């Protein structure tokens, strides 16, 4: 079995998402901050006439947040009937990964983290963390985001 993924950087760490969950990759545009939203919510943006929430993945994953880079992009993913933008430092490339290259996450990873990981791909000397797009946000967080876009 093969999996096509789009790879991206958060700080120096390499991550990937199944291409089937990716709607588009867009340049960093104007993001409007929403008062009293969760700290990982950058705000909302207008994407081709639709208001979508933008999540800062570094904040969501409790990584050290750095200033935005010129290479920063927003990966727009499909979550059931809505789209969400994920702010990343850099989008790399689309890769085809075979199931032989993918290992399951270690069993000692906390349960909440285990759901978010589809697996870890070994690419030469690098490790690529493959995320489960549908698990990046909890059901509660998705409901909160839906409320934000209705406010706009």
- In this predicted structure, what is the pLDDT of residue 146? 75
Question: How far apart (Å, rounded) are the C-alpha atoms in residues 108 and 146?
Answer: 33
Q: How many CA atoms lie within 13 A of 75 on its CB side?
A: 29
Q: Could you read off the pLDDT tens digit of each residue along the chain, which spans 152 residues?
A: 789 999 999 988 999 999 999 999 999 989 999 888 888 999 999 998 999 999 999 999 999 877 888 899 999 999 877 899 999 999 999 999 998 999 887 776 655 555 888 899 998 888 999 999 988 887 778 777 777 666 55
**Domains by residue range for the chain, with CATH:** 2-151 (2.40.50.180)
Question: How far apart (Å, rounded) are the C-alpha atoms in residues 2 and 102?
Answer: 10
Residue 137's Cβ-count burial label (10 Å; 0-12, 13-18, 19+) is: buried
pTM value?
A: 0.88
């Amino acid at each position: 079995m093969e999996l096509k993924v789009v790879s991206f950087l958060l700080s120096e760490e390499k991550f990937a998402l199944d291409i089937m969950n990716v709607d588009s990759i867009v340049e960093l545009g104007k993001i409007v901050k929403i008062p009293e939203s969760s700290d990982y919510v950058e705000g909302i943006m207008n994407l081709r006439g639709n208001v979508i929430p933008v999540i800062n993945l570094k904040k969501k994953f409790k990584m050290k947040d750095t200033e935005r880079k010129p290479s920063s992009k927003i990966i727009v993913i499909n979550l059931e009937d809505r789209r969400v933008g994920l702010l990343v430092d850099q989008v790399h490339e689309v890769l085809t990964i075979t199931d032989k290259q993918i290992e399951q996450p270690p069993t000692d990873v906390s349960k909440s983290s285990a759901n978010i990981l589809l697996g870890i791909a070994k690419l030469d000397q690098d490790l690529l963390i493959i995320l489960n797009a549908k698990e990046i946000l909890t059901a509660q967080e998705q409901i909160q985001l839906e409320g934000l876009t209705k406010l706009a």
